[in-house]
Amino acid sequence: MSKFEITTRKNGETQFNLKAGNGQVILASEGYSSKSACLNGIESVRKNSQDDSRYDKLTSSNGKPYFNLKASNGQIIGASEMYESVASRDNGIESVKKNAPEAEISDLT
């Protein structure tokens, strides 16, 4: 079962990771100043994950593909890991689309 894990960073900010059923992180959030803002971020991922136009497919300076998921206002709400291939990155996007809508929330704060 996929899940959003909410954790607290060392600097006190709250963040979430969307994990696939196998436990792999498929999307990581920015740091939020409050848990309520973090929960709003999760809802934004649920809403925007189904819209292909919300995904920016990018390549890092070292040549590794990755993606960002953006909200309707253009703000990045989640970033992927670095992948070894474009096909792997595209599979990561499909995994977010599949897992985000029904993922449970696990609050580890």
Give residue 6's pLDDT: 98
Over residues 45-100, the pLDDT tens digits come to 999 999 999 999 999 999 999 999 999 999 999 999 999 999 999 999 999 999 99
Q: Measuring CA to CA, which residue among 91, 92, 71 is closest to residue 80?
A: 92
Give residue 62's pLDDT: 95
Give residue 57's pLDDT: 98
Give residue 16's pLDDT: 98
Query: What is the maximum span of the chain, computed from C-alpha positions, in angstroms?
Result: 36
